[in-house]
Amino acid sequence: MTRVLLIAAAFGLLALSPLAAWLFDDPFLVTLFTRVVILALAAVALDLVLGYGGLVSLGHAAFLGIGAYTAGILASHAFDGSAFMTWPFEIGGSAQALVTWPLAMLTGGLLAAVLAPICLRTAGVHFIMITLAFAQMLYYFFISLPRYGGEDGLVLFARAEFPGLDLGDDVTFFYLCLILLGGYFLLARRLVAARLGMVLRGAKQNPGRMAALGFPLRRYQLAVYAISGAGTALAGALQAELDLFVSPTLLSWHQSGELVVIVLLGGMGTLIGPVFGAAALVLLEEVLGRFTEHWMFVLGPILVLVALFSRRGLLGWLEARLSR
Amino acid sequence: MTAALLSVRGLCKSFGAVVASEAVTLDLTAGECLALIGPNGAGKSTLLAQLAGALAPDAGQVLFEDRDISRLPAHARALAGLGRTFQTSSIFPEFTVLQNVMLSVQAQSRRSFGLWRPAGGDVRLTAPARAALEAVGLDQRAGLPAAELAHGEQRQLELAMTLAAEPRVLLLDEPMAGMAGADSQRMIEVLRGLKGRVALLLVEHDMDAVFALADRIAVMSLGRVIAEGPPAAVRDDPAVREAYLGESEDQTGEGEATDAAS
Ligand SMILES: Nc1ncnc2c1ncn2[C@@H]1O[C@H](COP(=O)(O)OP(=O)(O)O)[C@@H](O)[C@H]1O
Ligand SMILES: [Mg+2]
């Protein structure tokens, strides 16, 4: 019950957050909250595999990056009217969000589906290492593509077009991102209670027993990994639209680590926890960043405290307070 | 060929210098109960693990209904009708008792890609799961997290999970281990009710249970089957008395006392 209240509170506060920009007369706050929403989307997607599947993916930046590059590359071709590929058939660019975002999800999902059979052969520390390694490979791949900016990244000239909406308006873009987060959150929440989610959670607790019961585990884990990859890639595409810039740093291991930190800080295996985690991290970075460049110094101890005093991060702490 | 439902042919497995299975050959016919006994370390659990597909044998074959299943992974064997319980209870501690059993029903249904409808409200899962819990006498505990069950109840839950899959062959690894008297009586009754319908390969140290249930007994020692036959014949076999029963018969009372205490 407290869980439902906290979900309502999280989405309610996010929906009201543009008011803060208006109150403080600081339009930059809208951009800041959009960043919260986008990171939350990626972290909720990561929580599916990390919190519910027990699969510690330290390579989710790969999906964020592939989503951002998919949207960015298509947009850049649309902008200069060139073709993305001409053989065996011609594919041009696109500036339509309804084309580029679903394609970003598709490439993210496909990438996950291709990597998962290899990664899922391993477990524990090896799984962490192999997901990290694949993300690094992708990082160097995109750095080596001068056509798409190489190390400097790819600059976009306008946000994608969306029927009936002007995404160039920051508040409109914010609410669209929030709706997408809500949609993905709903899907994830249904998933973990549905049959697929039961398999996922069972495999985390006792994989040997799952096999003895008759579950071919990997194909279900692969399915969830792909759903997670698609969600993270959508976040990547939105990040590209927000920044009007796609940088290879989206693919860096720092980025993967940040997503894991958000999930742990917010409370893994809760779905809504990562939304709180994303808000906390972005706001901490923003506030502390004003005082010191070394804000990570302060974040470290905070993470240690959360890990020490709450098994389920911020959310666990909030729930314990509220149910008292 | 034979009427055997499950047939083990020359199974070999070594862990370094330890020979856990040495050319093990056994037949299990439909509906019978074959008890597999032998001192600790004889290789009983290792044999069951190889039959269930959790462990790959070094050599030999496992035939199920005359089909070679030696290369099938564990989950495929479970779906083919080979159920198993573990020596140390193997359950899902974070799930409720009911959810544990529902998962077994779900595995057999082979429909697990559902993303939207909550599994908890699905009567196709809950109804058979409740029936299995009732069969082992655990229906009162359905809503409890499995981690909160007492040791004996966890053994019952494990059996319920396996029963819910409606297996044709059941591999049971010491189902009464560590159970109090009344609980193990109940377990014997449940297993007796399965006889004739399900073929049981029962690994058990509790000799009362073995003699109450077994149609045949096979004795393992140091990875080999050293005797096999009807209970009375096995009991009187001099090799068995020496390797196992002779020493165990004196200690039966003692062994049970320590079991109950633990
Ligand atoms: N995974 C393993 N690695 C090494 N040795 C093992 C392993 N599993 C079992 N063994 C050894 O194999 C022998 C048979 O063990 P086990 O099958 O558990 O016996 P039982 O169930 O009859 O008590 C023992 O000597 C045991 O130490
Ligand atoms: Mg054993």
pLDDT of B207-248, one tens digit each?
889 999 999 999 999 999 999 999 999 888 888 777 765 454
- Locate tokens 């997670």: which residue? A228
Q: What is the pLDDT of residue B1?
A: 47
- Main-chain dihedrals φ then ψ at residue B200, nearest 5 degrees: -110, 130
Question: At a CB cut-off of 8 Å and minimum separation 6, what does B150 contact?
Answer: none
Can you tell me which atom of ligand 1 is nearest the CA of B87? 21
Q: Examine the pLDDT at B253 and tell me if it is beyond 80.
A: no
What's the CATH fold of domain A2-323?
ABC transporter involved in vitamin B12 uptake, BtuC (1.10.3470)
pLDDT of A100-149, one tens digit each?
999 999 999 999 999 999 999 998 899 999 999 999 999 999 999 988 99
The residues that bridge with B6 in the sheet, in sequence order, are: B28, B64
What are the Cα distances from residue B220, in Å, to B46, B216, B240?
A: 12, 13, 9
Give just the sign of the alpha carbon dihedral B55, B56, B62, B64. positive
pLDDT of B52-104, one tens digit each?
999 999 999 999 999 999 999 999 999 999 999 999 999 999 999 999 999 99
Contact yes or no for A52/A238 (Cβ under 8 A):
no
Quick one: pLDDT band at residue B255, thresholds 50, 70, 90?
Answer: very low
Q: Examine the pLDDT at B257 and tell me if it is beyond 80.
A: no
Query: Does the bond joining A88 to the residue before it have cis omega, within 30 degrees of 0?
Result: yes
Of residues A298 and B96, more confidently modeled: B96
Quick one: pLDDT band at residue A1, thresholds 50, 70, 90?
Answer: confident
Beta-strand ranges (E) seen in B148-204 are 169-173, 199-203
Q: Examine the pLDDT at B110 and tell me if it is beyond 70.
A: yes
The residues that bridge with B96 in the sheet, in sequence order, are: B145
Q: What is the pLDDT of residue A90?
A: 85
Quick one: pLDDT band at residue B177, thresholds 50, 70, 90?
Answer: confident
Domain boundaries, chain A: 2-323
pLDDT of B121-130, one tens digit each?
999 999 999 9
Q: What is the pLDDT of residue A311?
A: 83
- Å from A269 to nearest chain B CA? 12
| Tokens encoding A153 | 């990244």
Please list the helix, strand and coil fractions of chain B in percent, rounded to the nearest 5, in that order: 45, 25, 30
Residues A279 and A17: their CA atoms lie apart, in Å, by 11
Q: Which CATH superfamily is domain B1-81+168-262 in?
A: P-loop containing nucleotide triphosphate hydrolases (3.40.50.300)
Separation of CA B128 from chain center: 20
Mean pLDDT, residues B8-22? 96
Minimum CA distance residue for ligand 1 atom 1: B15
- Å from A23 to nearest chain B CA? 40
Q: Examine the pLDDT at B2 and tell me if it is beyond 70.
A: no
Considering CB atoms only, which of A191, A208, A213 is closest to B103?
A213
Q: Which residues of B touch A213 (CB under 8 A)?
A: 75, 78, 103-104, 107, 161, 165
A113 interface with B at CB cutoff 8 Å: no
Contact call for B119 and A193, based on CB within 8 A: yes
What are the Cα distances from residue B216, in Å, to A246, B6, B27, B32, B41?
A: 71, 15, 11, 8, 21
Contact yes or no for A199/A49 (Cβ under 8 A):
no
Residues B96 and B86: their CA atoms lie apart, in Å, by 19
Q: What is the pLDDT of residue B254?
A: 40
Q: Is any ligand 1 atom within 6 A of the Cβ of residue B2?
A: no
- Locate tokens 């599916």: which residue? A48
Contact yes or no for A36/A30 (Cβ under 8 A):
no
Q: Which residues of B touch A211 (CB under 8 A)?
A: 53-54, 73-75, 78
Domain boundaries, chain B: 1-81+168-262, 93-166
Q: Is any ligand 1 atom within 6 A of the Cβ of residue B56?
A: no
Q: Examine the pLDDT at B262 and tell me if it is beyond 50.
A: no
Q: What is the pLDDT of residue A316?
A: 93
pTM for the model stands at 0.93
The residues that bridge with B34 in the sheet, in sequence order, are: B201, B216
A264 interface with B at CB cutoff 8 Å: no
pLDDT of A2-26, one tens digit each?
899 999 999 999 999 999 999 999 9
Q: Examine the pLDDT at A232 and tell me if it is beyond 90.
A: yes
A199 interface with B at CB cutoff 8 Å: yes
Q: In what order do the strands lie in the sheet with B18-29?
A: B18-29, B4-15, B59-64, B67-68
Of A194-198, B74-78, B258-262, least confident by mean pLDDT is B258-262
The region that residue B222 occupies, defined by phi over 0 for left and psi between -120 and 50 for alpha, beta otherwise, is: left
Quick one: pLDDT band at residue B153, thresholds 50, 70, 90?
Answer: very high
| Tokens encoding A179 | 């709706």
pLDDT of A263-282, one tens digit each?
999 999 999 999 999 999 99
- Locate tokens 């986008």: which residue? A38
Mean pLDDT, residues B175-182? 85
Question: At a CB cut-off of 8 Å and minimum separation 6, what does A132 contact?
Answer: A58, A59, A253, A256
Residues B155 and B172: their CA atoms lie apart, in Å, by 11
Contact call for A209 and B91, based on CB within 8 A: yes
Contact yes or no for A232/A60 (Cβ under 8 A):
yes
Q: What is the pLDDT of residue B261?
A: 36
Contact call for B90 and A205, based on CB within 8 A: no
Beta-strand ranges (E) seen in chain A are 83-85, 91-92, 154-155, 245-246
In the three-class reduction of DSSP (H, G, I as helix; E, B as strand; rest coil), residue B179 is classed as coil
Q: What percent of chain A has pLDDT over 70?
A: 100
- A 10 A CB-CB count for B140 gives 10
B111 interface with A at CB cutoff 8 Å: yes
Q: Is any ligand 1 atom within 6 A of the Cβ of residue B18?
A: yes
Minimum CA distance residue for ligand 1 atom 12: B20
Residues B202 and B72: their CA atoms lie apart, in Å, by 22
In the three-class reduction of DSSP (H, G, I as helix; E, B as strand; rest coil), residue A90 is classed as coil
Residue B110 amino acid letter: R
Q: What is the pLDDT of residue A249?
A: 94
